[in-house]
Amino acid sequence: MNKTKRKIFETSMKLFAEKGYEATSIEEITATVGVAKGTLYYHFSSKEEIFNFLIEEGMKLLQNSIDIKTAKFPNYIDKIKAIVLIQIKIVFKYEDLIKILLSQFWGNETRNITCKKYILSYISKIEKIVKEGIEKGQIKNGNPQVIASEIYGLICSTLVCKIRSKEDIDIMKLYKEFENTIIEGLKEKGK
Protein backbone atom coordinates (compact mmCIF):
# COMPACT_ATOMS: atom_id res chain seq x y z
CA MET A 1 0.00 0.00 0.00
CA ASN A 2 1.53 3.34 -0.99
CA LYS A 3 1.94 6.23 1.45
CA THR A 4 -1.13 8.21 0.32
CA LYS A 5 -3.44 5.19 0.31
CA ARG A 6 -2.19 4.22 3.79
CA LYS A 7 -2.83 7.76 5.07
CA ILE A 8 -6.38 7.71 3.65
CA PHE A 9 -6.90 4.26 5.19
CA GLU A 10 -5.60 5.27 8.64
CA THR A 11 -7.44 8.61 8.68
CA SER A 12 -10.72 7.02 7.60
CA MET A 13 -10.39 4.36 10.27
CA LYS A 14 -9.85 6.99 12.95
CA LEU A 15 -12.75 9.15 11.76
CA PHE A 16 -15.14 6.20 11.37
CA ALA A 17 -14.26 5.04 14.90
CA GLU A 18 -14.61 8.51 16.46
CA LYS A 19 -17.60 9.91 14.58
CA GLY A 20 -19.26 6.90 13.00
CA TYR A 21 -19.57 5.99 9.36
CA GLU A 22 -22.59 8.17 8.60
CA ALA A 23 -21.14 11.30 10.22
CA THR A 24 -17.82 11.03 8.37
CA SER A 25 -17.75 12.71 4.96
CA ILE A 26 -15.38 12.35 2.03
CA GLU A 27 -14.64 16.07 2.44
CA GLU A 28 -13.57 15.54 6.04
CA ILE A 29 -11.35 12.60 5.09
CA THR A 30 -9.64 14.57 2.30
CA ALA A 31 -9.22 17.65 4.51
CA THR A 32 -7.71 15.61 7.35
CA VAL A 33 -5.39 13.69 5.02
CA GLY A 34 -4.52 16.86 3.12
CA VAL A 35 -5.28 15.55 -0.37
CA ALA A 36 -7.66 16.58 -3.11
CA LYS A 37 -10.84 14.60 -3.74
CA GLY A 38 -9.37 13.42 -7.02
CA THR A 39 -6.46 11.84 -5.18
CA LEU A 40 -8.82 10.03 -2.83
CA TYR A 41 -10.95 8.83 -5.75
CA TYR A 42 -7.81 7.60 -7.50
CA HIS A 43 -7.33 5.14 -4.63
CA PHE A 44 -10.94 4.52 -3.58
CA SER A 45 -14.12 5.00 -5.62
CA SER A 46 -16.31 5.82 -2.61
CA LYS A 47 -16.56 6.05 1.16
CA GLU A 48 -18.14 2.58 1.09
CA GLU A 49 -15.09 1.20 -0.73
CA ILE A 50 -12.80 2.72 1.91
CA PHE A 51 -14.93 1.12 4.61
CA ASN A 52 -14.95 -2.29 2.91
CA PHE A 53 -11.19 -2.17 2.35
CA LEU A 54 -10.63 -1.25 5.99
CA ILE A 55 -12.80 -4.11 7.29
CA GLU A 56 -11.37 -6.64 4.85
CA GLU A 57 -7.75 -5.75 5.60
CA GLY A 58 -8.37 -5.66 9.36
CA MET A 59 -10.08 -9.04 9.43
CA LYS A 60 -7.38 -10.56 7.19
CA LEU A 61 -4.78 -9.37 9.68
CA LEU A 62 -6.66 -10.94 12.59
CA GLN A 63 -7.39 -14.21 10.81
CA ASN A 64 -3.85 -14.57 9.42
CA SER A 65 -2.42 -13.96 12.90
CA ILE A 66 -4.70 -16.67 14.30
CA ASP A 67 -3.85 -19.15 11.51
CA ILE A 68 -0.09 -18.68 11.91
CA LYS A 69 -0.08 -18.80 15.70
CA THR A 70 -2.50 -21.70 16.21
CA ALA A 71 -0.68 -23.87 13.64
CA LYS A 72 2.30 -23.93 16.02
CA PHE A 73 0.41 -25.73 18.79
CA PRO A 74 -0.73 -29.35 18.80
CA ASN A 75 -2.74 -28.83 22.02
CA TYR A 76 -6.15 -27.17 21.61
CA ILE A 77 -6.05 -25.32 24.94
CA ASP A 78 -2.78 -23.75 23.77
CA LYS A 79 -4.48 -22.79 20.49
CA ILE A 80 -7.26 -21.05 22.46
CA LYS A 81 -4.68 -19.30 24.64
CA ALA A 82 -2.97 -18.03 21.47
CA ILE A 83 -6.29 -16.74 20.11
CA VAL A 84 -7.07 -14.90 23.35
CA LEU A 85 -3.62 -13.26 23.45
CA ILE A 86 -3.80 -12.23 19.79
CA GLN A 87 -7.25 -10.74 20.31
CA ILE A 88 -6.01 -8.69 23.27
CA LYS A 89 -3.03 -7.44 21.26
CA ILE A 90 -5.25 -6.57 18.28
CA VAL A 91 -7.57 -4.51 20.51
CA PHE A 92 -4.62 -2.54 21.88
CA LYS A 93 -2.94 -2.02 18.52
CA TYR A 94 -6.07 -1.52 16.36
CA GLU A 95 -8.65 -0.15 18.77
CA ASP A 96 -10.30 1.97 16.08
CA LEU A 97 -10.84 -1.05 13.83
CA ILE A 98 -12.44 -2.99 16.69
CA LYS A 99 -14.73 -0.06 17.52
CA ILE A 100 -15.86 0.08 13.89
CA LEU A 101 -16.46 -3.68 13.68
CA LEU A 102 -18.46 -3.74 16.89
CA SER A 103 -20.48 -0.63 16.05
CA GLN A 104 -21.36 -1.85 12.57
CA PHE A 105 -22.25 -5.44 13.49
CA TRP A 106 -25.93 -4.56 14.02
CA GLY A 107 -28.30 -3.48 11.28
CA ASN A 108 -29.19 -4.40 7.74
CA GLU A 109 -27.18 -1.91 5.69
CA THR A 110 -24.56 -3.34 3.33
CA ARG A 111 -21.71 -2.39 5.67
CA ASN A 112 -23.52 -4.03 8.65
CA ILE A 113 -23.93 -7.23 6.66
CA THR A 114 -20.26 -7.07 5.60
CA CYS A 115 -19.07 -6.67 9.20
CA LYS A 116 -21.38 -9.44 10.38
CA LYS A 117 -20.10 -11.76 7.63
CA TYR A 118 -16.45 -11.23 8.60
CA ILE A 119 -17.08 -11.51 12.34
CA LEU A 120 -19.18 -14.66 11.99
CA SER A 121 -16.55 -16.19 9.70
CA TYR A 122 -13.90 -15.44 12.32
CA ILE A 123 -16.04 -16.94 15.11
CA SER A 124 -16.54 -20.04 12.93
CA LYS A 125 -12.76 -20.39 12.74
CA ILE A 126 -12.62 -20.40 16.56
CA GLU A 127 -15.59 -22.77 16.70
CA LYS A 128 -13.75 -25.28 14.49
CA ILE A 129 -10.76 -25.25 16.86
CA VAL A 130 -13.04 -25.66 19.88
CA LYS A 131 -14.95 -28.53 18.23
CA GLU A 132 -11.71 -30.35 17.35
CA GLY A 133 -10.45 -29.80 20.91
CA ILE A 134 -13.65 -31.32 22.31
CA GLU A 135 -13.41 -34.28 19.92
CA LYS A 136 -9.79 -34.89 21.00
CA GLY A 137 -10.78 -34.68 24.69
CA GLN A 138 -8.59 -31.62 25.30
CA ILE A 139 -11.50 -29.22 25.83
CA LYS A 140 -14.40 -30.16 28.05
CA ASN A 141 -17.65 -31.01 26.37
CA GLY A 142 -19.89 -28.07 25.53
CA ASN A 143 -21.52 -26.25 22.67
CA PRO A 144 -18.65 -25.19 20.33
CA GLN A 145 -20.74 -22.35 18.88
CA VAL A 146 -21.40 -20.85 22.32
CA ILE A 147 -17.80 -21.33 23.48
CA ALA A 148 -16.43 -19.73 20.29
CA SER A 149 -18.79 -16.77 20.73
CA GLU A 150 -17.61 -16.38 24.33
CA ILE A 151 -13.98 -16.39 23.21
CA TYR A 152 -14.74 -13.79 20.56
CA GLY A 153 -16.55 -11.80 23.27
CA LEU A 154 -13.19 -11.30 24.95
CA ILE A 155 -12.51 -8.71 22.24
CA CYS A 156 -15.42 -6.70 23.63
CA SER A 157 -14.28 -7.30 27.20
CA THR A 158 -10.75 -6.17 26.37
CA LEU A 159 -12.02 -2.98 24.77
CA VAL A 160 -14.23 -2.23 27.78
CA CYS A 161 -11.28 -2.81 30.15
CA LYS A 162 -9.10 -0.51 28.05
CA ILE A 163 -11.72 2.24 27.97
CA ARG A 164 -12.48 1.98 31.70
CA SER A 165 -8.88 1.89 32.86
CA LYS A 166 -7.45 5.14 34.08
CA GLU A 167 -3.93 3.82 33.76
CA ASP A 168 -1.97 1.79 31.24
CA ILE A 169 -2.94 -1.85 31.10
CA ASP A 170 -0.32 -4.55 31.03
CA ILE A 171 -1.36 -6.83 28.15
CA MET A 172 0.13 -9.95 29.72
CA LYS A 173 -1.52 -9.23 33.06
CA LEU A 174 -4.89 -8.86 31.35
CA TYR A 175 -4.24 -12.06 29.40
CA LYS A 176 -3.49 -13.89 32.67
CA GLU A 177 -6.81 -12.67 34.09
CA PHE A 178 -8.65 -14.06 31.08
CA GLU A 179 -6.61 -17.25 31.27
CA ASN A 180 -7.57 -17.75 34.92
CA THR A 181 -11.27 -17.10 34.43
CA ILE A 182 -12.03 -18.30 30.89
CA ILE A 183 -9.42 -20.75 29.68
CA GLU A 184 -9.25 -22.72 32.92
CA GLY A 185 -12.98 -23.34 32.56
CA LEU A 186 -12.42 -25.03 29.18
CA LYS A 187 -10.00 -27.65 30.45
CA GLU A 188 -11.11 -31.19 31.01
CA LYS A 189 -10.94 -32.08 34.70
CA GLY A 190 -7.56 -33.50 35.63
CA LYS A 191 -5.75 -32.09 32.55
CA count, 13 A, side-chain hemisphere, 191: 18
Please, where in the chain does CATH 1.10.10.60 lie? 1-45
Please, where in the chain does CATH 1.10.357.10 lie? 51-186
Taking the C-alpha atoms of residue 12 and residue 59, their distance in angstroms, rounded to an integer, is 16
Which pLDDT tens digits describe the chain residue by residue (191 residues)?
789 998 999 999 999 999 999 999 999 999 999 999 999 999 999 999 999 999 999 899 899 999 999 999 999 999 999 999 999 999 999 999 999 999 999 999 999 999 999 999 999 999 999 999 999 999 999 999 999 999 999 998 999 999 999 889 999 999 999 988 888 888 876 66
Taking the C-alpha atoms of residue 29 and residue 8, their distance in angstroms, rounded to an integer, is 7
Tell me which fold the domain 51-186 belongs to: Tetracycline Repressor; domain 2 (1.10.357)
At position 171, the amino acid (one-letter code) is I
Taking the C-alpha atoms of residue 28 and residue 36, their distance in angstroms, rounded to an integer, is 11
Contacts 24+ apart (CB under 8 A), 116-122: 118/55, 118/56, 118/59, 119/59, 119/152, 121/59, 121/63, 122/59, 122/62, 122/63, 122/66, 122/152
108, 28 Cβ separation under 8 angstroms = no
Q: Where are the beta strands (DSSP E) in the chain?
A: none
* Span 1-45 CATH architecture: Orthogonal Bundle (1.10)
Instruction: Give CA 62 to chain center in angstroms.
Output: 6
